[in-house]
Amino acid sequence: MSKNSTILTTVLTIALIAIGVWIGENINLLPIDASTNAPVYDELFKVLFTIGAILFLGITGLVLYSLIKFGRKPGQKGDGLAIEGNLSLEIFWTAIPAIVILFVGIYSYDIYDRMGGMQSLGASGHEHHAMNSNNKVWGGIGSSYSPGQTNKNEVLPPIPIEVTAMQFAFLFHYPEGDIISGELHVPTGQPVTMRMESKDVIHAFWVPEFRLKQDVIPGQPTILNFTPTKAGRYPIICAELCGPYHGGMRSTVVVEDSEKFNEWFNKNSKSPNLNT
């Protein structure tokens, strides 16, 4: 390779990387972020989108260049030269993908761990909260602080919710108050821990705005933790093919401020004096 070719290749590579980074940082294909997990997940998406943009533009550019540079010329009838045995090129196209895959794997593991994926099921304390519904484990449902807390910046206790998936609906049970609802109601800024189980086949609980997706398995309860950050109504979608009406298995998560959530809870609670 001549000196000019080396300089041109280096410049094009730098330009390609710069364009890929710009695309990853400025083109957002995701819905709004409405949970504390979302910004963490979005970091990974930007990295993957940047890598994907660089590979797509680079490979497409090489293909177009090859078609123009090495395409059959008028009057040519024979086959092209049989070139083989370029050890340097083979090492290059093996090493670069290997490095990219290793980086993506390590970084994905770090994101998964930061989102709580490596915590054991017992770490959330959900079993204690959900099964002891006679104890006042919440200091006022959706309240900004719990009894004994004097600083609103202290960590809030999680709200336990039991989720049942069945063909073709989600049911949400609030042990504290014994509420059963077809919609998931949660307050902004307070952790939620859900114990999910299916009554028939495998389903999946997916809220795109929360960047959360968790399989719901019959006979094997799964735990999902999150903290909503933005008020609004967001779709809950079953993302696992579960039967002929799978496409219609949807619900809604209603994220409200603490005051509105308390109003909803007290209106539907079978224990009206729970928060007094």
**Six-digit token pair at 207?**
């809220």
pLDDT given for residue 115 in this prediction:
73
Domains detected in the chain: 3-68+87-114 (no CATH), 129-146+153-268 (2.60.40.420)
pLDDT given for residue 153 in this prediction:
55
- State the SS3 of 59-118: HHHHHHHHHHHHCCCCCCCCCCCCCCCCHHHHHHHHHHHHHHHHHHHHHHHHHHHHCCCC
Q: Would you mind telling me the total number of residues written for the chain in this entry?
A: 276
In this structure, what DSSP letter does residue 228 have? Answer: B
The Cα 271–Cα 207 span in angstroms is 30
Judge whether 231 and 188 are in contact, CB under 8 Å: yes
Closest to 141 measured CA to CA, from 13, 264, 5: 264
pLDDT given for residue 201 in this prediction:
95
Closest to 30 measured CA to CA, from 43, 11, 21: 43
Q: pLDDT tens digits, the chain, 276 residues: what are they?
A: 577 788 888 899 999 999 999 999 999 899 999 999 899 889 999 999 999 999 999 999 999 998 888 887 888 787 777 778 788 888 988 998 899 999 999 998 888 887 766 555 444 443 333 333 333 344 344 443 332 333 455 567 899 999 999 999 999 999 988 999 999 999 999 999 999 999 999 999 999 999 999 999 999 998 999 999 999 999 999 999 999 999 999 999 999 999 999 999 999 988 654 443
Question: pTM for the whole thing?
Answer: 0.72
- CB-CB neighbours of 67 under 10 Å: 9
Judge whether 260 and 268 are in contact, CB under 8 Å: no
pLDDT given for residue 254 in this prediction:
96
Judge whether 5 and 36 are in contact, CB under 8 Å: no
